[in-house]
Amino acid sequence: MKYLRHFALVSALITPSLLVAAPSLDDKSAFIADLVGRMTLEEKVGQLRLISIGGDMPRERIREEMAAGRIGATFNSVVRPENRPMQEAALRSRLGIPVFFAYDIIHGHRTTFPIGLGLASSWDIAAIENSARVAAFEASADGLDMTFAPTVDISRDPRWGRTSEGFGEDPYLVSRIATAMVHGFQGKDPSDPQRIMASVKHFALYGAVEGGRDYNVVDMSPMRMYQDYLPPYRAAIDAGAGGVMVALNAINGVPASANTWLLRDLLRREWGFKGVALSDHGAITELLRHGVAADGRDAARLAITAGVGMSMADTLYDQELPALVRSGAVPQSVLDEAVTHVLNTKYDLGLFHDPFRRIGRAEDDPADVNAESRLHRADARAMARDSLVLLENHGDTLPLSKKTTVALIGPLADSPVDMLGSWSAVGVAEQAVTLRKGMETVLAGQGKLLYAVGANVTDDAHVINYLNQLNWDRPEVVLDKRTPQQMLEEAVRVAAQADVIVAAVGEARGMSHESSSRTRLDLPDSQQALLRALKATGKPLVLVLMNGRPLALSWEKDNADAMLETWYSGIEGGHAIADVLFGEHNPSGKLPISFPRSVGQIPTYYNHLRLGRPYTPGTPGNYTSQYFEEPNGPLYPFGYGLSYSEFQLSAPKLSAERMGPDEKIRVSVTLKNAGSRAGASVVQLYLHDEAASVIRPVKELKDFRRVKLEAGETRELSFEIDEPMLRFYNASLQHVSEPGAFRVQLGLDSESVQEARFELLPRQ
């Protein structure tokens, strides 16, 4: 088939008069309006269908449906030879409208970068944007047009399995990353053939599900929504995200997929969103189970009226919308609006100009579709190194000598699939560098590496059965068939021969995933038994954690000589972790989410509201807000992370003590690397409103600077504070600042800060 690169030409082959009548392709609004006017009711409904490839419908039937104009887009078809026949079929339809191809590209496509929490731990906005750029380059080379990302749900309950996908607990940091990810995916123009369109998710408030249990309800005050949970979605949309995926949860009693206030009043009218709103998988049918729809007809009516444009892996639009529109139960204008958004998306992707702009010609298909992953491994390694957070390092246990004998022990030490983490797109586990491989490479010809599994990730039969039923291409947990005692004895024997123990422990990746909520945050019993046995050997004990959520690590904090949080660090993770363990790279990661002392402390987050009876450390007695079994506050606070260098931060100096509404205050601070090696740290600026019309948080992150310094180097940093930084949503949902006193706090984490005070003057 000859590839036709202009919609009017495609149409002309079918209806010659269209070539004359159709508006110019350069006039987007007129072109789309004219196209909508030419469509039949069934063709319009077809544009709203987003189907899953690999589901119940055979490929031949899918192509027939596309040729009939009854499918608008697909997801889960990945490579060009798979997508090309479908696009060709779509162009054979009466109007020749192309389809677009989407996929879940969360933290890399073929080159797997660290999971979301890992990316956020770098606090390196430029590097995070680059990771999305690489993902877009690889995905577009595979023929994909859109990703269901970034995931920007604020998460303050680590029991929620999807904590791993997002960027943590703080609205400002997550908003900065949301903007960077959208820019990385889309560039300046999503029609660029080496870019893809971002579809931000999950709109909205998905990270606040009750009890941290996936798909659960959310009940939240509007003020908290606007102040804490909505800003990252708004940031992604302001950055130009072309799509929004609607969340599966209910919000204050109304499912997001039937929530007119959310999708029309807020998203489109207040925020001005012009792109396409997509349901999550099967969400429209789920309106029946939510109990807000009496039947499928009612569910389809509710969803499209509320503003859900495309229906993902759901048949109700196809089955019910034609009759709903003919009867007048759904106005024609509502359907036309939804179709217009879909067609605008295809126009913005450049598909009307060239339906094959990312698919290309068959003769140009690469012989090796994984070649891209080898092009970008250096980017993945650099990103992974900067995502690692050093939690403990007693007596300078780390870095390790390259001439030592190391016992590497643990169920995650040599597990390539777990290096990739959840939602690893088309990353190939066999290409991932495990910790064992990374350490072998460093120690080759110098030291010696001994290895033992030591324990299974878990011995809980219920958990194992659950994980192995997840939709992966292999069992999620591969068990060692020996008894737990046999594995422990081997681990102790191996440890006895070494100078130091490195224990790789944590969660299998399926334990931090969609639908993988947990009631416990400690390590599984099998791994706790292993660590206790290793501790009893008396050898220095270094823990390498691999996990997708904050864990409760009180025993580990008290007993490990060093502890490194690595999350799931991606395809180059083994090399990156070894780089840090042996001092080739100085760790600089900072936590984007607080680590609670126990599951009973949840929620634990740094920017909590002030209290009338706050707990005051060192003051005995009851009747203050506390748990009496353990200290208040996190085990590891937001923004925390150690280095092999000692970074010293001076007290902040303000350019003025009073600021008018149209003025700025400059905050100066000096950072010194007092250590003996080059490194990086993150200077964090927090603000505290001393008195306001509503309760304000104890502090809020408002700016940060990631700074690299040579050994002994000192640098003066300058931050600016202006009136918009002081605004908040009041009880009337007005975004305002109020005159009065503020404290500016500078630190290298959210707890250890130095303060200065200034006053915002009233407007004259």
Closest of 760, 665, 686 to residue 173, by C-alpha:
686
User: How many Å apart are CA 368 and CA 309, to the nearest integer?
Assistant: 36
Omega of the bond prior to 204 within 30 degrees of 0, cis? yes
Q: How is residue 2 annotated by DSSP?
A: P
In 409-516, where does DSSP find H-type helix?
416-420, 435-443, 461-467, 484-496
Annotated catalytic residue within 104, 142, 170, 280: 280
User: How many Å apart are CA 355 and CA 138, to the nearest integer?
Assistant: 18
φ and ψ of 277, to 5 deg: -105, 120
User: How many Å apart are CA 447 and CA 113, to the nearest integer?
Assistant: 29
Our measurement of the distance from residue 382's CA atom to the centroid of its chain's CA atoms, rounded to an integer in Å, reads: 19
Question: Please, which residues have CB within 8 angstroms of residue 542's CB and are 6 or more apart in sequence?
Answer: 397, 398, 400, 500, 501, 502, 503, 560, 561, 562, 563, 564, 581
CA distances from 360 to 5, 60, 188, 374, 760 (A): 11, 21, 22, 21, 58
For helices 332-348 and 28-38, give the axis angle rounded to 10 degrees. 130
User: How many Å apart are CA 744 and CA 599, to the nearest integer?
Assistant: 32
And the tokens for 489? Answer: 């004895």
For helices 316-327 and 332-348, give the axis angle rounded to 10 degrees. 130
User: How many Å apart are CA 166 and CA 174, to the nearest integer?
Assistant: 8
- Single-letter amino acid code for the residue at 470: L
Residue 273: count of CB within 10 angstroms of its CB: 24
Our measurement of the distance from residue 266's CA atom to the centroid of its chain's CA atoms, rounded to an integer in Å, reads: 23
732 in Cβ contact with 716 (< 8 Å): no
User: How many Å apart are CA 401 and CA 398, to the nearest integer?
Assistant: 8
Kindly state the greatest CA–CA separation across the chain: 87
Q: Is 280 marked active-site?
A: yes
Query: For the chain, how big is the Rg over CA atoms in Å?
Result: 27
φ and ψ of 254, to 5 deg: -125, 120
313 in Cβ contact with 148 (< 8 Å): no
The alpha carbon dihedral of 651, 654, 659, 663 has a sign of negative
Catalytic residues: 280
